[in-house]
Structure 1
Amino acid sequence: MKKWKYLTMTAVMGSALMLGACGKDDATQNGSTGDTSTQETAGQESADKKLQGAVAGDGSSTVAPIIEAVVEEYAGAQPDVKVSVGVSGTGGGFEKFIAGETDFSNASRPIKDEEKAKLDEAGIAFTELALAYDGLSVVVNPENDWAKDLTVDQLKKIWIEDGTEKKWSDIDPSWPAEKIVFYSPGTDSGTYDYFDEVILDGADLAKTATLSEDDNMLVQGVAGDKNAIGFFGYAYYLENKDKLAIVKIDGVEPTGDTIQSGEYKPLSRPLFTYVKNSAMKDNAAAYDFIKYTIENAGAMADAVGYVALPEEKYQEALTTLEGLK
């Protein structure tokens, strides 16, 4: 798997490889998805149409590997478009989206009702676009040879705060009588929100947990402590699988197949970007970047370790996006 740096980035590179997916939208509008020559011609026309401008986004660190990969490739197609994408977490990204600071907001969970209400108050109309599937991955240190397969109930017992100093032996008497060390995404993270919803059921997370919006810090923490446990997006596990051990949940390991099928439950989930409708209409560079993102999201998801949506879902998203122009 190609390594992508999960950082806030500004794309100003003058060259990058072009993906063969350019021109899908044009081909679809012409009523043909199987005519290779038409797609290639449309793709060439898109490459020849140079744009200038700026596009701003923010949001989920889980979605960041996909978007950064897209940004790097897009720089080759449109070198005069400046794309800046922050990684302040799903919640932090929505705060900037509501404040009118960004054209799009990446999210590892659906937008909340209160966030919708604030956008409505701000007069910002938006559209949700799905990008890929993820399997929220629970990981332990490779030296941990006991917690290889956990039930959902055990996850709850491990992670929910109950006022005690938890040891592994509290979960299973045959496990070591060593304190559990917790690493979790921060509270602005959509991954935290999703885990809260499906595992914590709204209860408090273990108060001794180290929280960070930087998933790479969580990786380092788990990799450095035999008694550590953490969770984050599947791509971050794949990127660091040489220093982490994946945990099965109710006997199911997250893989591309189990994530897409939903067998890896309840931790399979879609990943999104939310676009500002006015930006898609008034900012040609923003529209073009999001169109490029949808056209290439499946390939980029596969490249960085997530799972592509069915192709028809991307075509539906392109049709939706076209309607905003």
Structure 2
Amino acid sequence: MKSFKFLAMSIMIGSLMAFAAACGNGESTNTNTNEGQTTEAGSEEKQLQGEVAIDGSSTVGPIMEAVSEEFSKEYPDVKAPVGISGSGGGFKRFVVGETDISNASRPIKDEEAAQAKENGIEYTEFKVAFDGLSVVVNKDNDWVDQLTIEDLKTMWTGEAKKWSDINPEWPNEPIKYFSPGTDSGTYDYFNEVVLEEEPMVKDATLSEDDNVLVKGVANDKNAIGFFGYAYYLENKDTLKVVPIVNSNGEAVEPTNETIENGTYEPLSRPLFVYVNNASVKEKEQVYEYVKFALENAGDLAEEVGYVRLPQEEYDKAIETLESLK
């Protein structure tokens, strides 16, 4: 009997221990699962999704395409294709709320700002790099070694029709013109600084695609064109850049140094992105994209052929972005 009681007691104690162990294992299992869920949930919070709508300048395009490519490595579920419709074309979409970011190689115009205000679009301007608008001729052009702003105006308004109209020693051949299209900020900048708002020569070939301009100049010995510095660098083996006489009477070629220190003037200029404030506040992917762009714009701008801003300007821009959030 005593043995039976002992056996019964042993069974009961064993059962209790097994139950306790089972509970303990259950808690451990639940804790591990919860930790896993927490980790998983945390990773899901970091895994951004959605789209960033970007359009605008073909000049700024290479910088932002590089930003999108690098950004996608960290956030593969965010789509951020870069449209190239020119600064003006980009602003047309931006001021009605169709895009989150508008790339521009010129500041927003008063009438564009007014349209944005009418449509309730509040925005912030950020500088991302410097550019030197580059005047190029055919590689076989052996007569042009420099041009003044007045020379450029005489040519591009059609007052001079042949190279010999600029210099009697130059060929008696018609000048062929290749220019960014009228929606381009580069066109606007050239029109303001060089042409002083006078009409451009009517027989110029216009295109929003700078590669069309590169090919046009490269294929015609009597051609001249202009576009952003990066496109010249990318095609310098097939094009000849023209030094431009600055206000000190010095013929200066666009380089990283002359663009940054301002001696390549008046054709040096800043490049911009305009950001919809509401998009920054309401779309996490837009905020992260713009932050990433500002943190990396200097390196990526140089990588694609432009000139970085001083670091303090990027730091200040990031502070401005944080204040929008």
Please give the TM-score of this superposition, normalised by the length of structure 2: 0.84
Residues 1:46 and 1:98: Cα distance change in structure 2 (over 3 Å): farther
Task: Determine if the alignment matches structure 1 residue 257 to structure 2 residue 252.
Answer: no
Q: Secondary structure at the match of 1:134?
A: strand
Counterpart of 2:271? 271
Q: Secondary structure at the match of 2:236?
A: coil
Q: Within 2, Cα distance between the matches of 1:210 and 1:148?
A: 23
Task: Determine if the alignment matches structure 1 residue 59 to structure 2 residue 33.
Answer: no
The letter for the 2-side match of 1:247 is: V
For residue 242 of structure 1, the aligned residue among 237, 240, 251 is 237
Q: Within 2, Cα distance between the matches of 1:148 and 1:321?
A: 45
After TM superposition, the structure 1 stretch with the greater mean CA deviation from structure 2, 81-90 or 271-280, is 81-90
Q: Secondary structure at the match of 1:323?
A: helix
Task: Determine if the alignment matches structure 1 residue 169 to structure 2 residue 169.
Answer: no
Contact 1:148-1:246 within 8 A present in 2 as well: no
Counterpart of 1:75? 72
After TM superposition, the structure 1 stretch with the greater mean CA deviation from structure 2, 213-222 or 95-104, is 95-104
Q: Secondary structure at the match of 1:85?
A: coil
1:229-281 deviation line (CA, Å, top 9, x unaligned): 00000000000001000000011000001001110000000000000000000
Counterpart of 2:120? 123
Q: Within 2, Cα distance between the matches of 1:153 and 1:106?
A: 30
The letter for the 2-side match of 1:289 is: Y
Q: Within 2, Cα distance between the matches of 1:209 and 1:75?
A: 39
For residue 201 of structure 1, the aligned residue among 184, 196, 203 is 196
Q: Which structure 2 residues correspond to residues 1-325 of structure 1 after superposition, within 5 A?
A: 49-162=46-159, 166-250=161-245, 251-325=251-325
Q: Secondary structure at the match of 1:184?
A: strand
Please give the TM-score of this superposition, normalised by the length of structure 1: 0.84
The letter for the 2-side match of 1:85 is: V
The letter for the 2-side match of 1:54 is: E
1:170-215 deviation line (CA, Å, top 9, x unaligned): 0000000000000000000000000001000000111110000000
Q: Report the identity percentage.
A: 62
4+ residue segments displaced more than 3 Å: 45-48
Residues 1:219 and 1:284: Cα distance change in structure 2 (over 3 Å): same
Counterpart of 2:37? none
Q: Within 2, Cα distance between the matches of 1:150 and 1:54?
A: 45
Q: Within 2, Cα distance between the matches of 1:81 and 1:153?
A: 48
1:116-137 deviation line (CA, Å, top 9, x unaligned): 0000000000000000000000
The letter for the 1-side match of 2:187 is: Y
Structure 1 unaligned blocks of 5 or more: 1-44
Q: Within 2, Cα distance between the matches of 1:46 and 1:244?
A: 49
The number of residues matched between the two structures is 279
Structure 2 unaligned blocks of 5 or more: 1-41, 246-250
Instruction: Tell me the CA shift for residue 153 of structure 1.
Output: 1.1
Q: Within 2, Cα distance between the matches of 1:238 and 1:62?
A: 13
